[in-house]
């Protein structure tokens, strides 16, 4: 979801300087969505979910001095959280299957474990992340930029059909046939869209890197980047607007697909978190309304009669 924002960078700088108020603000900002995601993955076990989320913050603050920024904090925190949950499940060895991401991936687990192989055993996720080598970093960044450019184009032209296909192929990493089934389309057409998107990404890469990447498994790289940075995920504001039903019909249809058919756990976590926040705000408003309408009746303040 893009690079770290100025506001986030400022917050991080403040935390680095030991500003506890900034740290509190940071925790408040992210704990809700992390907890919603953890609860969903740990099938409603709140105690475990809270432990895991606490762990994420501990991990984050410990590795903070080495954190170089670059990618969005949210995806960074989610990547630590994912790792923690996987660890927990390795310990508990129970299964978790929910929406399309998990269902379709069950027969291609290899891809998933490949992605996870990046985390060597015993090393904390945060320190793995910050120690990733510069070269790999540069390639990832160029590719991320090329992906974002392609996605911008699709969104601008309201080409949500292709956007959905791209998400199915690279984010969920399902086969052309499976994507065709979900989209109720011919698998040949899915292949065509895939081909076109890859070509476009290659074209917008710096020439030297395009050459270098051409020798690699571009599809595999795209999958890794998608899983890690979720470049196509709707922004939190967009999810908020979806909840308020203020989106254009095309956008609404797409966000609905992303949340409920694709079943993006990260966006669902944001969705739940925003819902909860809205409810709390509603409760606060009600409280305020009650206060306003009752304060006049308090002893000694009864000036209206």
Interacting residues with Zn ion (CB under 5 A) = 233, 264, 266-267
Whose Cβ is closer to Zn ion: residue 197's or residue 267's? 267
Whose Cβ is closer to Zn ion: residue 37's or residue 67's? 37
Separation CA 38–CA 44 (nearest Å)? 8
Whose Cβ is closer to Zn ion: residue 63's or residue 169's? 169
Q: What is the DSSP secondary structure assignment for residue 106, as one 8-state letter?
A: G
Minimum distance of Zn ion from residue 254's CB (angstroms): 11
Q: Locate 5 and state its tokens.
A: 């924002």
Minimum distance of Zn ion from residue 239's CB (angstroms): 9
Whose Cβ is closer to Zn ion: residue 77's or residue 205's? 77
Minimum distance of Zn ion from residue 171's CB (angstroms): 8
Whose Cβ is closer to Zn ion: residue 160's or residue 266's? 266
Instruction: Kindly report the backbone phi and psi dihedral angles of residue 211, in degrees, each rounded to the nearest multiple of 5, phi listed first.
Output: -65, -50
Minimum distance of Zn ion from residue 258's CB (angstroms): 6
Q: Locate 79 and state its tokens.
A: 């990547």
Instruction: Kindly report the backbone phi and psi dihedral angles of residue 3, in degrees, each rounded to the nearest multiple of 5, phi listed first.
Output: -95, 170
Please give the angle made by the CA atoms of 102, 106 and 110, to the nearest 5 degrees: 115
Q: Helix (H, G, I), strand (E, B), or coil: what is residue 20?
A: helix
CA 219 to chain centroid, in Å, comes to 20
Separation CA 54–CA 218 (nearest Å)? 36
Minimum distance of Zn ion from residue 73's CB (angstroms): 16
284 and 276 Cβ atoms separated by less than 8 Å: no
Minimum distance of Zn ion from residue 233's CB (angstroms): 3
Whose Cβ is closer to Zn ion: residue 150's or residue 213's? 150
């Amino acid at each position: 979801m893009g690079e770290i924002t100025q506001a986030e960078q400022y917050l991080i700088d403040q935390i680095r300087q030991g500003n506890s108020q900034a740290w509190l603000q940071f925790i408040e900002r992210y704990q809700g969505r992390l907890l919603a995601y953890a609860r969903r993955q740990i099938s409603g076990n709140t105690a475990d979910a809270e432990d895991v989320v606490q762990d994420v913050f501990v991990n984050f603050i410990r590795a903070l001095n080495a954190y170089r920024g670059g990618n969005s904090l949210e995806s960074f925190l989610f990547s630590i959280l994912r790792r923690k949950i996987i660890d927990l499940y390795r310990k508990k060895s129970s299964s978790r299957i929910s929406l399309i991401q998990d269902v379709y991936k069950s027969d291609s687990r290899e891809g998933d474990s490949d992605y996870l192989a990046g985390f060597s055993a015993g090393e904390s996720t945060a320190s793995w992340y910050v120690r990733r080598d510069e070269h790999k970093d540069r390639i990832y960044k160029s590719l991320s930029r090329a992906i974002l450019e392609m996605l911008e184009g699709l969104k601008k032209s309201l080409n949500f059909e292709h956007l959905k296909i791209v998400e199915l192929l690279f984010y969920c990493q399902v086969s052309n046939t499976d994507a065709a089934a979900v989209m109720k389309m011919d698998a040949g057409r899915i292949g065509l869209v895939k081909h076109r998107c890859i070509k476009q990404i290659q074209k917008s890469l710096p020439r030297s890197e395009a050459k270098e990447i051409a020798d690699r498994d571009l599809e595999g790289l795209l999958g890794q980047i998608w899983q890690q940075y979720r470049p196509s995920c709707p922004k939190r504001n967009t999810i908020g607007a979806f909840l308020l039903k203020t989106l254009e019909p095309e956008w609404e249809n797409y966000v609905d697909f992303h949340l409920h058919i694709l079943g993006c756990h990260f966006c669902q976590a944001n969705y739940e978190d925003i819902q909860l926040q809205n409810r709390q705000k509603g409760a606060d408003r009600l409280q305020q309304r009650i206060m306003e309408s009752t304060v006049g009746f308090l002893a000694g303040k009864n000036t209206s009669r």
